[in-house]
Copies of this chain bind each other. A is one copy, B any other.
């Protein structure tokens, strides 16, 4: 399983405010394009999200942004799904390793992992293969971190960096797993 984490982050490294708010990601000037989001969705065959992220997306009132992409929500509580989502959305639970095993049993090969707690758990298990950070030009002082501990140093290789006219900087890295 190839695991991709793609997230917006403040200059000081927070993916959300202490209470979970992500308003700081919405700046006066939106990015000129989608910052590679559509391309990301085309590259993955499953999206794994935390329960909080799922609830946030549902509560936002926006149209479901993931089309027909299979979505697995990491939760032990049942979901109430709107008509149309039952075909693509299901729950999943367990440790990150167990999640990966279950996803592989379903035949998935490339996963986009979304949500702070879930991404932290994947980093804690050194299970992230690709990381895309979109750095928003604001310092918020405190909040929730993307990475909350690792088994040791995790070396990455820089793949690409893009700058949007609005000041967003997006950096892609890939985990370097081969011995040096």
Interface residue ranges, A against B (CB under 8 Å): 11-13, 24, 28, 123, 131, 133, 135, 137-142, 145-147, 149-158, 161, 163, 167-169, 171, 173, 180
A169–B171 CB distance below 8 A: yes
Of the candidates B133, B135, B139, B151, the one whose C-beta lies within 8 Å of that of A150 is B139
Given A11-B173, A12-B145, A158-B163, is A153 in contact with B131 using a C-beta cutoff of 8 Å? Answer: no
Q: Tell whether, in the assembled complex, residue B163 and residue A169 are in contact, meaning their CB atoms are under 8 Å apart.
A: no
- Check if B141 sits within 8 Å of A152, measured CB to CB: yes
The answer to whether B180 and A154 touch across the interface, beta carbons within 8 angstroms, is: no
CB of A149 within 8 A of CB of B141, answer yes
In whole angstroms, how far apart are the Cα atoms of A142 and B152 in the complex?
Answer: 9
In the assembled complex, the Cα of A133 lies from the Cα of B161 at a distance in Å of 14
Q: Residue of B at shortest CB range from A128?
A: B139
